[in-house]
């Protein structure tokens, strides 16, 4: 379905030095499965997602969607082929409403579907459909509106970047139920969730752990969890600053 072959990405810093932030990633994502990507902050998870969406371009390697090399394609072209990326920090738009954005994500969406999509992310349609996606919304509201667009689009490849961030526990459970009910085992859809949330990870068919731009572990949630737990304890000892890279259940 989606294949990343020998993907690397190098970025330059202010001092003119190059740093490889994605290192030789080889991975395939199959249809009908939910994948989790986790790992410490700065490990390359969001960069990998942006490479798939076409927001970043790889320094080397190729990305294939259903056998087609999409590496040279633009963001719009990849979106039209069926990839969507739910941003970790979605931008705000003065003057565009929630309804506008969902209509862009899913042109011609009927009113019933539109309203149920908002309910799926824990938002009351009456209160939100005509709200500006502007500065008046909280981070948590923005996040849920972002997820609503992703759910409405039902893309063949959905990448959700920390859908739990800033969202209340009740909504996280609701989102998990929607992902399990609608995406998991859907033979048409592939779902990739970047997450630090154990409950999210446990609904995944497979979990990939990224660190220093590399894929360091891969397996079922049960297989991976001990590795992540060790990492957490290790990181906490290293940091000793209260900066917790993982959310612990």
Binding stretches for other proteins (CB under 8 A): 53, 55, 74-76, 79-80, 84-85, 87, 90-91, 93-97, 100-101, 104-105, 149, 153
Structure tokens belonging to residue 61: 């390697």
Which residue number, 38 or 158, has a Cβ lying nearer to other proteins?
Answer: 158
Nearest to 189 by CA among 28, 31, 64, 3: 31
Residue owning tokens 């565009």: 96
User: How far from the centroid of its chain's Cα atoms is residue 97's Cα?
Assistant: 23
Q: How far is the CB of 135 from other proteins (least distance, A)?
A: 10
Listed in sequence order, the DSSP H helices in the chain are: 45-53, 75-81, 98-105, 111-120, 125-128, 139-153, 169-178, 198-201, 221-239
Which residue number, 75 or 244, has a Cβ lying nearer to other proteins?
Answer: 75
Q: How far is the CB of 105 from other proteins (least distance, A)?
A: 5
In degrees and rounded to multiples of 5, residue 62 shows phi and psi of: -135, 155
Q: How far is the CB of 109 from other proteins (least distance, A)?
A: 12
Q: How far is the CB of 58 from other proteins (least distance, A)?
A: 17
Which residue number, 70 or 176, has a Cβ lying nearer to other proteins?
Answer: 70
Which residue number, 101 or 209, has a Cβ lying nearer to other proteins?
Answer: 101
């Amino acid at each position: 379905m989606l294949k990343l072959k020998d993907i690397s990405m190098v970025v330059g810093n202010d001092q003119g030095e190059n740093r490889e932030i994605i290192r030789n990633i080889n991975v395939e994502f199959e249809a009908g499965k939910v994948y989790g990507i986790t790992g410490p902050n700065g490990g390359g998870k969001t960069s990998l997602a942006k490479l798939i969406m076409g927001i970043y371009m790889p320094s080397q390697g190729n990305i294939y969607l259903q056998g087609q090399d999409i590496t040279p394609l633009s963001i719009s072209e990849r979106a039209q082929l069926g990839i969507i990326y739910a941003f970790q920090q979605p931008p705000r738009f003065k003057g565009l409403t929630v309804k506008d954005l969902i209509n862009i994500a899913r042109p011609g969406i009927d009113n019933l579907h539109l309203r149920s999509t908002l309910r799926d992310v824990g938002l009351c349609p009456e209160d939100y459909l005509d709200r500006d996606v502007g500065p008046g919304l909280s981070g948590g509201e923005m996040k849920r509106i972002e997820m609503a667009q992703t759910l409405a689009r039902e893309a063949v490849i959905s990448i959700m970047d920390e859908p739990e961030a800033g969202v209340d526990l009740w909504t996280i459970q609701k989102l998990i139920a929607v992902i399990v009910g609608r995406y998991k085992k859907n033979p048409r859809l592939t779902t990739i969730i970047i997450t630090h949330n154990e409950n999210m990870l446990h609904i995944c068919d497979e979990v990939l752990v990224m660190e220093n731009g590399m894929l360091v572990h891969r397996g079922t949630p049960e297989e991976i969890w001990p590795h992540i737990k060790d990492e957490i304890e290790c990181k906490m000892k290293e940091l000793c600053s209260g900066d917790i890279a993982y959310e612990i259940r």
